[in-house]
Structure 1
Amino acid sequence: MFLPYFISWVVVGAFVYNMFNYEFGAVNTLLRQHQSVFSFILIMLANYAVKKVEPDYTLF
């Protein structure tokens, strides 16, 4: 009776595991290929947050 539910969760788990796999996962591959873009966005967001709190400590 519960076998179809179990099989579907196994399939979902396999997809999630493969997406976040350390070596060949889709998310890891995307982050490795676009590392400089993500770093730039994080620096800009941090600079914006610092500017809201203390404008004298911003990078530019």
Structure 2
Amino acid sequence: TLFGCFWTNGQICSATSRLLIHKNIAKEFVDRMVAWSKNIKVSDPLEEGCRLGPVVSE
């Protein structure tokens, strides 16, 4: 699910890394996922409404 992709910034052993979507709904699913992802508020995790904070890269 989308929650599984972005919860804890995707940096957890149980984060969603693959989704198996039937081809009949794939385009609509991807379109909705992209639209939802574009609305994720990226900011200071202490700020109200923040859904994605700093990401560790090393």
Greater length-normalized contact order (CA 8 Å, ≥ 6 residues apart): 2
Same fold (TM over 0.5): no
TM-score (norm 2): 0.31
Larger radius of gyration: 1
Which structure: greater helix fraction?
Answer: 1
